[in-house]
């Protein structure tokens, strides 16, 4: 781990710590760090994700935006990973029978900014996006027509 590279810290609510441990630790393979009876730290692909036990979550349908024919939840988090790592995770989750909130698809195929993406929902309803760019230099590109 490069100590000079910034890491994000994200804390999210969950209603069941055991289910969160299974999903993040077992299904996604995230190592655990510190924990207590009300929270668990996970190594979320090199970043610190903390799940905090709450007694209840408000269950309202999330606001969404239409993105290339998919209703993407406006509130979500995720990771941008190398294409090969993305494919390995996608295959692992597919083989395990994981239910995808938004199935794997490729945006902008054979064009600048080509990216693969899929969405999951954790057991508490938090939305996660997993994404890979064919060319990582396109991650923050503003004008794709000039690439």
CATH of the domain at 30: 3.10.180.10
Strands (E), the chain: 9-14, 31-35, 39-44, 47-53, 64-67, 70-73, 77-80, 102-107, 115-121, 127-133
Q: Are residues 53 and 110 in the same domain?
A: no
pLDDT digits (tens, 9 = 90+) for 116-132: 999 999 999 999 999 99
Q: Are residues 78 and 138 in the same domain?
A: yes
User: What is the residue range of 32's domain?
Assistant: 1-57
User: What's the start-to-end Cα distance of the chain, in Å?
Assistant: 32
Threshold 0.75, pTM exceeds: yes
Q: Are residues 70 and 105 in the same domain?
A: yes
pLDDT digits (tens, 9 = 90+) for 56-65: 877 667 788 8
Burial of 100 (0-12, 13-18, 19+ CB in 10 A): middle
């Amino acid at each position: 781990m490069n100590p000079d590279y910034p890491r994000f810290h994200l804390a999210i609510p969950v209603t069941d710590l055991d289910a969160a441990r299974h999903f993040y630790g077992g299904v996604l393979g995230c190592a655990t760090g510190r924990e207590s009876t009300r929270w668990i730290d996970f190594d979320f692909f090199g970043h610190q994700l903390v799940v905090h036990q709450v007694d209840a979550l408000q269950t309202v349908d999330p606001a969404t935006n239409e993105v290339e024919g998919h209703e993407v939840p406006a509130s979500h988090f995720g990771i941008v990973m190398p294409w090969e790592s993305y494919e390995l995770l996608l295959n692992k989750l597919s083989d395990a029978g994981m239910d995808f909130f938004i199935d794997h698809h490729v945006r902008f195929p054979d064009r600048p900014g080509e990216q693969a993406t899929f969405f999951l929902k954790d057991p508490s309803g938090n939305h996660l996006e997993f994404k890979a760019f064919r060319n990582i230099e396109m991650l923050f590109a503003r004008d794709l027509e000039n690439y």
